[in-house]
Amino acid sequence: VIAAGLFNILIALQDKNYASIILFSMLISVETMVMFVMSLCGESITSESIKLRNELYFSKWYNLDIKNRKTLLN
């Protein structure tokens, strides 16, 4: 989508169609922001799963009762 938007901006520059330049610039900006937000959400999920893994790894699982130990280790 971004590449198509950039191509359309180049075409609009040749035709001096300033409305299309603004439109496709806004499209590219919105697509870039959407990719950033999705990457930010993915990074948040990844870092939280790493925190959970570390907390489980360093927990004192051996002090739990048998049922909870089996649940945690499976």
pLDDT < 50 stretches in the chain = none
Tokens at 19, concatenated: 């409305």
Q: What is the pLDDT of residue 65?
A: 92
Q: How many whole angstroms separate alpha carbon 40 and alpha carbon 34? A: 10
- Can you state the percent helix, strand and coil of the chain, rounding each to 5? 90, 0, 10
Q: What is the pLDDT of residue 33?
A: 98
Residue pair 20/12 in contact (Cβ under 8 Å)? The answer is yes
pTM of the model: 0.68
Quote the number of domains for the chain: 1
Residue pair 27/20 in contact (Cβ under 8 Å)? The answer is no
What domain range includes position 34?
Answer: 2-73
Q: How many whole angstroms separate alpha carbon 50 and alpha carbon 58? A: 12
